[in-house]
A and B are shown apart, each in its own frame.
Chain A
Amino acid sequence: MSAPAPSLFTPAAKATAEKLGLKMGRANLEEFAATLEELAKANPNIVAVTSDSRGSGKLAPFGKALPGQIVEVGIAEQNLVGITAGLAACGKKSFGVSPSCFLTARSLEQIKNDVCYSDVPAVLVGISSGTSYGALGTTHHSLHDLAVLRAINNLTIIVPADNFESRQAILAAAKATKPVFVRFGKAAMYGLHKPDTKFEAGKAITLREGDDVAFIANGETVIHAVLAAAHLAERGIQARVLSVHTVKPLDTEAVLNAGRECRAVITVEEHMVHGGLGEAVASALLHAGVCKPFRIVGIPDEETVPGAQADIFRHYGITMEGLSDTATKLLNK
C-alpha cells in the first residue's frame, strides 16, 4: 500500500486558489487519454502504442473502445519507440505512450534516430513525468527528460500546465507533421485558462501581468507560480506569470520581454536544474544581453529527497510559499 498522498497545496494556497476562482480539474494524464480517444474515434489512422502502460496511461478505455488502434509491445521501450516510428513512416499517426522515466532514457537512441533523425510525424508521450511517481524513487522520476530531449534536433517538446493545455497539446500533436514529445503528470490540476485562450505550440501564455518579478514556469509547477503571484500581490509585489508550455522551440520573445520589463526572473520546473527550462531561459536572456537577478527553481543536482510529489515540491520550494519567498529574497538582494 502506498502512503496517502499529501496535498500539493497548503490550506493558505487552497484559499488563494479559491480567491482566484480556480477550479480543480483532473489529472493532465486523464485529459490526455480522453482527448486521444476522442480524436482516435474520429480518425482511424491514430494509433496508440503502449509498453504494458495502458493502465498507467489511462488508456484502458481507449483499448476497449478501439482495440484495432492500440498496439501493446510489452515492457520493451526501445521496441515501443521503433514500432511507433515505423507506424508513423507508413502513414499512421502514432502515439508512443510510456512512463517518461523509461521512455526518455532507455529508448533515447530510438527517439534520436528512429523518430527525430528519420523525421517521422510520431508523437511520444511521457506519462507520470517528473516526480509524479514520487516515493517510488529516482528510477521512476524523469528529471532528465527535458535536458536530453532538448539536445536532440527536430523535436517539439511540450509540458502542459493544466487540462486545457493538455488537450490543446494533443490536438496540436495530432496535426503535427514533425516529431513531438509531450509529458503529463498524474496529479489533479487546477484549471488556469479561460476556454477562449489561444494555444499555439512555441508560444508562451501570459497568465498574469506584472513587472517586479517574472515567473517563467511550465507543467505542474505553473499553478504554484500563479498562487505565489497572488500571494506576492498582497504584499505589493507584482509578478508576471508565463506558462512556457513549449520548452522547444522556446518563445524567446516572451522570455526576453519578461527579462527586459521585470526586475528579476525566476524559472520554475519539475526537472533537474540542469538542462531544462531554466537553462534555456538563462541562455536566451544572456545571448540577448539581458542580465537581471535570476534563479532557477527546480530539483537540484543531488539525490532527490524521498517522498511524494507534494513532499518533493515542498522540500525544494515549488509551492506558493516557497516561490514567494524566493521572489522576495531575490528582489531584496
Chain B
Amino acid sequence: MTDHELQLKSFALRRAMLNLIVGAGAGHTGGGLSCMDILNVLYNRILNVSPQTFGDPHRDRYVQSKGHCVEALYAVLADRGFFPASDLATVCHYQSHYVGHPTRHIPGVEMNTGALGHGLPICIGMALAAKMDAASYRVFTLLGDGELAEGSNWEAGLAAAHYRLDNLAAILDHNTLQISGHTRDVMSNEPLDEKWRAFGWEVRSINGHDYAELTEALTAPSESGKPVFIIANTVKGKGVSFMENVAKWHHGVPSDAELKQALAELDASEAALKEAK
C-alpha cells in the first residue's frame, strides 16, 4: 500500500475505533487516536504477521505496553482480518473476551497487557529468544508518556542495551499528555532522547503521524547494534479537532452529538485527502 492509501485507511480505522468506544461505553479515545497511525503502519507495512501466519514462530512480535489503547489495536486487527469487525460491537460487554486491555484470547494479541511498564521487559525476553535461536524476527513495543514513570521501563532500558538487542524497537507514543494533564507537570521525563541515548539506545525522533517517517524509523536496521527507541511525536486526539491536545479525552467517551461531529470531521478530512491525490 502507498502512503496515500495507508493514510486513507487511517480514517476508516479512526471511525471504527470511535464507534467501538461508544458501543463499549468506555475507552481511551485520545491515546488511541494518537497511536493509530503507528499501528496502521506497523500492521500494514512492517510486521510480518497475518491471521494465517500468526502461529509461525518466526513472526515479528508486537506487544502493546500501553495496553489501555486497546481500542486502536482492536480496530487495526479487525481491519487486518484477525477477527470479524462485528466482534467490535461486543467490546467491554458481559462475557466478551474483548475486554478493555489486550488479552491473548483475541486473535493477533501476543501478550496480556494493561498494567503499565510490562511490555518492554517482555519484549526483551522475546528479543533474547530470537537471538538464542538465531531467528530473524523483530520485536516491537508501544509505550506511553505517562507509562515511562514506571521504573521497570528503566530496568529494561539497561538490559536491552546490555544485550545489544538490535532486533528490538520501543516506540514511544509521545503525545505529552497523560490522564492528569501534561506529563511535564505530572512527572517530567525530558530530555527523553538524551536519556535513552545515555542508556545505550539508538534514538530516532520522528513525526508519529507521518507515514514516510514512521516507515523509515520502523524499517531501518539499527546501525549501531543497539536497540532502537523511537520517539514518535504525536497529537493526543489526532484527527478530531475538539479532542486534539485535550487531556480529558484520555478516556473520554463521546456523546452521540460528539461522535457525529467527530465522524463528520474524519469524513471531511478523508474527502480532502482523496481530492489531494
Contact = CB atoms under 8 A, between A and B. Distances in A.
Interface of A: 47, 68-69, 71, 73-74, 76, 78-79, 81-92, 94, 109-110, 113-114, 117-120
Interface stretch (B11-19, B126-134, B201-209): B126-134
Interface stretch (B77-85, B116-124, B220-228, B250-258): B116-124
Contacts of B152: 76, 78-79, 82, 110
Contacts of A114: 111-112, 118, 121-122
Given A88-B125, A110-B121, A79 B155 contact: yes
A118 B104 contact: yes
Contacts of A119: 104
Contacts of B129: 86-87, 90-92
A78 B155 contact: yes
A117 B112 contact: yes
Contact of B128 (A74, A78, A83): A83
Nearest to A75: B155
Contact of A113 (B110, B118, B132, B155): B118
Contacts of A89: 61, 110-111, 122, 125-126
A118 B124 CA distance: 16
A43 to B, nearest CB: 13
A213 to B, nearest CB: 44
A1 B141 CA distance: 46
Most buried by B among A69, A86, A88, A94: A86
Nearest to B109: A118
Contact of A79 (B121, B132, B133): B121
Contacts of B113: 113
Chain B residues touching A, range: 20 to 34
Contacts of B151: 78
B159 A86 contact: no
B158 A76 contact: yes
Contacts of A94: 125
Interface string B134-170: 0000000000000000011001101100110000000
B155 A90 contact: no
A87 B121 CA distance: 10
Contacts of A78: 117, 121, 151-152, 155
Interface string B205-223: 0000000000000000000
A86 B121 contact: yes
Contact of A86 (B104, B126, B158): B126
A87 B111 contact: no
B115 interface: yes
B114 interface: yes
Secondary structure of the B side of the interface? helix
Contact of B159 (A68, A74, A118, A120): A74
Contacts of B130: 90
A248 B175 CA distance: 44
A114 to B, nearest CB: 6
Contacts of A109: 115, 118
A206 B27 CA distance: 53
Interface of B: 57, 61, 103-104, 110-115, 117-118, 120-130, 132-133, 151-152, 155-156, 158-159, 162-163
A79 B61 CA distance: 18
Nearest to A76: B155
Contact of B124 (A47, A79, A113): A79
A110 B125 CA distance: 13
Contacts of B120: 82
B125 A91 contact: no
A86 B111 CA distance: 9
B271 to A, nearest CB: 42
B118 A82 contact: yes
Most buried by A among B118, B125, B133, B162: B125
Given A76-B159, A87-B126, 12 more contacts: A78-B117, A82-B125, A83-B124, A83-B159, A86-B129, A90-B130, A91-B57, A91-B129, A113-B113, A114-B112, A117-B103, A118-B112
Nearest to B114: A113
A167 B99 CA distance: 40
B159 A90 contact: no
B112 A110 contact: no
B156 A79 contact: yes
Nearest to A88: B125
Most buried by B among A79, A91, A94, A113: A79
Contact of A83 (B110, B111, B125): B125
Most buried by A among B61, B103, B112: B112
A308 to B, nearest CB: 32
B61 A90 contact: yes
A78 B152 CA distance: 6
22 contacts: A73-B159, A74-B162, A76-B152, A78-B121, A78-B155, A79-B156, A82-B118, A82-B156, A85-B111, A86-B125, A86-B127, A86-B128, A87-B128, A89-B110, A90-B61, A90-B129, A90-B130, A94-B125, A113-B115, A114-B112, A118-B111, A118-B112
A69 B129 CA distance: 10
